[in-house]
Amino acid sequence: MKNIICCPICNNEHLNPEMDVADHFLTKEVFHLTKCTQCGFLFTNPRPNSKNLSTYYQSDDYLSHSKKKSLTGSIYNFVKEYSLAKKFQLISRYHSRGKLLDIGSATGEFLQYFKKKNWDATGIEPAEAPRQYSIHTYGLNVFPEEKIDQLAADQFDVVTLWHVLEHVPDLNQRMEQISKLLAPEGLLVIALPNYLSWDAQHYGNFWAGYDVPRHLYHFTPATISQLLSKYQFEIFKTEPLKFDAFYVSLLSEKYRTGKSDFLAAFRNGLKSNKWAKQHGENYSSLIYLAKKEK
């Protein structure tokens, strides 16, 4: 295990224990969440060493990498297909066409959607199996993690990270890479869970959005804004991922009760989205749209 002695965002060394959360998905190990006393950033601490972290993804049930058939997987894939069109519409408001880099591209459906719309689409995916699937199934340009430092500067009109930044071992290195690769007028799109949501408060340490230790960081709108500002990015718009409240509630119900209660998950997803609309847009997951400060 690796112990983090200072905040990844503000470098403050005064950290307080916040809560303990089990790896409900795979190992049942308990991990600690630490909060920075200065900027309020919450992160998993200590955490597995980089060389051991990949073992926590080694399951056929890890849905962003898996094609395994299951009811939960079918729901996930249905929502993913619907979301592709919505993501395309969102990005097209700001760039009608160009070069796109998707970091953490998984099995490549997002990239393939943009490729079919005549975008020049490139992916970075550290896991071998989903990377090879996207290459051989869709003919995509998807590279391993180490390739990111070999990409030319200022070449991408859009860089996207869909529920990926919370997984990255070196947060500051990744932000430096993004800042280098994105063109001066480019668009940065980051989707993240939000532990200020109603469903997070309702499920507590059973909330699937914590997903320790795969999720190394646990963001709020304030802390992602602080991180991006550190690298001269400004968030100009946020958008909710409303389906996430239902899907995360479904997983959280299973973690808490041991069974998939679709009715309870649907009810709590509705409650979470309704509450968010009334309380500062704190949805279960949010998309942050950012540009470099001028």
DSSP 92-145: HTT-SS-EEEEET-TTSHHHHHHHHTT-EEEEE---HHHHHHHHHHH--EEE-G
pLDDT tens digits for 89-101? Answer: 999 999 999 999 9
CA–centroid distance for 42 within its chain = 15
Domains of the chain, CATH where assigned: 15-292 (3.40.50.150)
For residue 65, what pLDDT is reported? Answer: 46
Residues 6+ apart with CB under 8 A from 229: none
The pTM score is: 0.93
pLDDT tens digits for 2-52? Answer: 999 999 999 999 999 999 999 999 999 999 999 999 999 999 999 999 889
pLDDT tens digits for 199-222? Answer: 999 999 999 999 999 999 999 999
Q: Give me the mean pLDDT over the 216-230 stretch.
A: 98
Predicted confidence (pLDDT) at residue 136 exceeds the cutoff of 50: yes
| DSSP conformation class of 64 | T
Question: Using 50, 70 and 90 to split pLDDT, how confident is the model at 187?
Answer: very high
Mean model confidence pLDDT for the chain: 93
The Cα 71–Cα 77 span in angstroms is 10
* Structure-block tokens of residue 218: 């646990």
The Cα 63–Cα 251 span in angstroms is 12
